[in-house]
Structure 1
Amino acid sequence: MKKVLLIILMAFNYVAMAQELPPPKGLSASFVVENNERYILLNWEKDAGDTLTTGYNILTNFPPKEDLLILGKAGVVYKTSYKYKLTNNRAAKYRFAVMGLQNFPRLKRSKPSEVVEVLVPSSSLPNIEIEKAYYKDGAITLIWDYDAFIRDVKGYHVYLNGQLIETIEKPGQMLWTKNFEEKGKYIFEIAAITTSGVLSRKSQKKLVKIE
């Protein structure tokens, strides 16, 4: 009887080792904010006929890189969900996949699930600085420089004497010019704005005199 049980157990182990683990299905990723902390919430499904998978590994990229690597700090996930905490406050594209795991009789992983992507918005923006502000040929010109790699910058606010006078909805445009005829002192500031409405601090004040 013991020999029969041993043979059955060995046969079961052989079949388990020979079977491929089915990859997780239906992976989704959504950006959430909880208690002022930012997360990406992952959810997926276990195949209905899967009796071998005991846990999961999370794969993700580390922006700006796009290659997927196993997220070591997540360890083995035993649920079909995972909350990825964001530490970067700049907009970035994150990519995720999930692999099933079997720990016994030896470590085995499934093929990765389908890859999902989520664009996380900026929660704050770096400061902006006006490099030049001058009056010439009847027009005032402002020139500034800004990080062109922040994905969700929508454009720039232009302020005159503390009041918003124009919004430039071209993130690559870092020059503003407008005709001015009246003599006087004009104080300008610039602020960057994202597609979700996050504003940078206003730049330093730049004084332009028309005499």
Structure 2
Amino acid sequence: MPAQPSGPSAAGPALPVVGGKRSSYRERVADALRAALVTGELRPGEVYSAPALATRFGVSATPVREAMLDLAKEGLVDAVPNKGFRVTEVSERQLDEYTHVRALIEIPTTVALAGAAPRDALEALRPAAREIVTAAAAGDLIAYVEADTRFHLGLLALSGNAHLVDVVADLRGRSRLYGLTALVEAGRLTASAQEHLDLLDALVAHDGPAVHAVMTRHLGHVRGQWAAQG
């Protein structure tokens, strides 16, 4: 991303609007913006205008502006009068705390699904897991994060606890994975992506210990993925 505060560089990668089951551009753009924040496509301290971002989405500025206002309510960006929106800073300590809370919630919840989730419900998540692998192989970080979010929140939804899903969704939106680019360059992101398929296989096999091991390793990788914040 550029150093200029007025908006993203024309040479930068376009921000995709990924479908899923969203009903409006506003929601879809908000999802893509969250992914862009997580991957570092939108950098802390930078100010981005809604029209500049809208050009990258191929939509009008209105849904982008509305989506950014939603993100401002979540504390992910701050409105800058007459300029746009500034991406908020996130400290290393905050990132550590987010991962700690996620581990406390996600590991035991996912392990419990090994003996409780219907096989067909688990298999319904396999296309998303494969999409994560495909995005990793292509080096499409925003698509990777969006598919990863759909997979994990969809998995947690099988617990039947909607509030738990909302809490994890908020924590994921606040996280930063600036090291993903380095993993792509080193050819290591695809191996990390494969863990989603390994997790599904362990869940389908009702192998609780294997699920625990995969989830623990996976969240450990998440912490390492924001080590490089250049």
If each structure's helix is expressed as a fraction of its own residues, which one has the higher value? 2
TM-score for both structures, normalised by structure 2: 0.21
Larger relative contact order (Cα-Cα within 8 Å, sequence gap ≥ 6): 2
From the two aligned structures, give the one with the greater strand fraction: 1
Larger radius of gyration: 1
